[in-house]
Structure 1
Amino acid sequence: MSSSACDVTRNLHGHVCVCGPILACWCKTFCDVRSTMVGIRDVAEAAGVSASTVSQVVTGKRPVAATTRARVEDAIARLDYRPHPGAAQLRGGRSGTIALVVPTLENPFYPLVAAGMQDILVPRDLLLTITDSSGPRRSDSAIRRLVSRRVDGIVAAPFGFSTETLAELRDAGVPFVTLGAAPVPGGDLVHTDDVEGAREVTAHLLSRGYRRIAFLGGDESATPTRQRLEGVRSALAAAGGDPAAAAVAFTDFTREGGRQGTRELLARDPAPDAIVAANDLMAIGAIDVAREQGLRVPDDLAVTGYDDIEAASLITPSLTTVENPAREIGRACARLLLERLDGAVENVTRTVALSHRLIIRESS
């Protein structure tokens, strides 16, 4: 091959590249990049010191003689050495990564929580990783894997978490925030009042004349299911009804889960004239089934949801729901974690309660 094809490679590395002329352009680009990758050993060689001395100058963790520091700083300037931020984080015991653990990414509510966290974390040059635990029963395993990978903090929707796992987080010194559960010693909590939100939407249905109100919940053990069912029953009791007589179906927090649960509820005698769903996806599934069975919404069957995801205002009929401020929830979680990472808070469990809002649309 022509000796001009890899002159850059020969000049930089002292050998002739074996690539052909077709790769000459790539080879030059690669070598140009290689030439800018100055490492700590290059600085040490140029300054006539050890790599550990360069590290001490860069981090400032140990004193270095003034003449030696000057030589190192001169070499850093001449070589345009830039310490890798990831390496600095590892030396400081930090990975620069925050984890968000959710039961599913199919629900648009959780990506909005992630977006809110990004609003706070990105300016601090922190990376957010999102883990879909694929259902409430695998959350413990996901948490343990994240701890083993040395994430700096964890935000988790605590579906299926065991108290042992949360204790492991605390004992490992990993700051954590839970969404919508009871406060856990060693961690923080961000939530809205799910009981009151469900009570308000049920009271709205009662004011519209609906009396056979059924509840469509997700996983029976999940905190949102339990709290929102409590709110429904509270409203029914306040109106003089029998809360224990309300029809209830437990399913998945998905559109398909909403379809399955609604078919079960509508097959009962008497059938409900209104369904309070524990989230918007299930409520949309309920509207699907109402349409399949020739029921008019809201004339024959009223349907309400929870969260106010974007689709709630786009479907026909538009969905009555309770706004759960996902993005602000994410921001609050990130702020709490950063305060712990900065050492501003110790040995105290904090709770942030955000407001909800009833949004009345066509489905009721």
Structure 2
Amino acid sequence: MHRVIGEREFDETSLSADGARAIYRDMVRARRFDERALALQRRGWMSGYPPFEGQEGSQVAAAHAMADDDWLLPTYRSNAMQIARGVPMSDILLFRRGHAEFRSDHDVPTFPQAVPIATQIPHAAGVGMAANYRDADHGVLCYFGDGATSEGDFHEGLNFAGVFDTPTVFFCENNGWAISLPRERQTASDTIAEKAEAYGFEGLQVDGNDPLAVYEAVGAALDRARDGEPVLVESLTYRQGAHTTSDDPGRYRDDEPDLPDWRTRDPVERFEEYLRDAGIVDDAFVETVREDADDELDRAVETAEEADDADPADVFDHVYADPPAALRAQKESVLSAADREE
């Protein structure tokens, strides 16, 4: 059976005051990044962007629960996780401007973002199998949204993980919507977490807007996974904005969602209020965190703008050692069109 983990008091967690401040700091960094990236896209700085406002508590706390050598398999919406893990903001911005994903020198064990839905889930099982073959002791955390659970890759990845006892945590961030499709239109299961039972391992739900609960749940799940027991974690949160900048949620979503307040409340405000009440942060700390985040973003945008334009040929040059005729023709067509635009 799947378990449900709800709101935690600070003294019920293994997190120190410094750890709580670090999570809050990264939540603010992620929120500021999301706001700046959305503004940059709106003025044509990048072609598209997938906002994650409202999901910072879930993503950042999950990232903090990982060990330094654990592998992250992210998607296009898990930018908060990558930022919290140490991927430079400039790398993420440059990726959105057509560059290869990792431009800077960093040793964060993370895969490239998976844009096709759910393709990273079988990869995560494979990374876990590789860890077993090599007698490595790191865990693997695979991030995906609730929409990915409707793909065949979800079944295949979890089935392999269960059969081969991979050290994998499947972290499903259920934000209520797969673009315009609500969760109840995707599955007849009462929860996503209970789907783990079909694959022979544990599933659990967690309040995704409570960073303390997420930190504890994902940390415990990773401990189990490293011992050869995969876990499916369903983090219940809410997508405050659009699916992407090309989406209009007003066409399919009511302004007042039929969800409890804990799931729709702003996680940054909620956590800040909690930490203030606990005497862990004060006005000076909060203001410094916000200023530091803005300064970091200014530098990241400057770094991205100083980079040379992306070369369209890069899209084709790292796919095949010997490209087939159809791909060569496609490359010639794209480069010809780019030359005409210049």
Q: Calculate the TM-score normalised by the size of structure 1.
A: 0.30
TM-score normalised to structure 2 length:
0.31
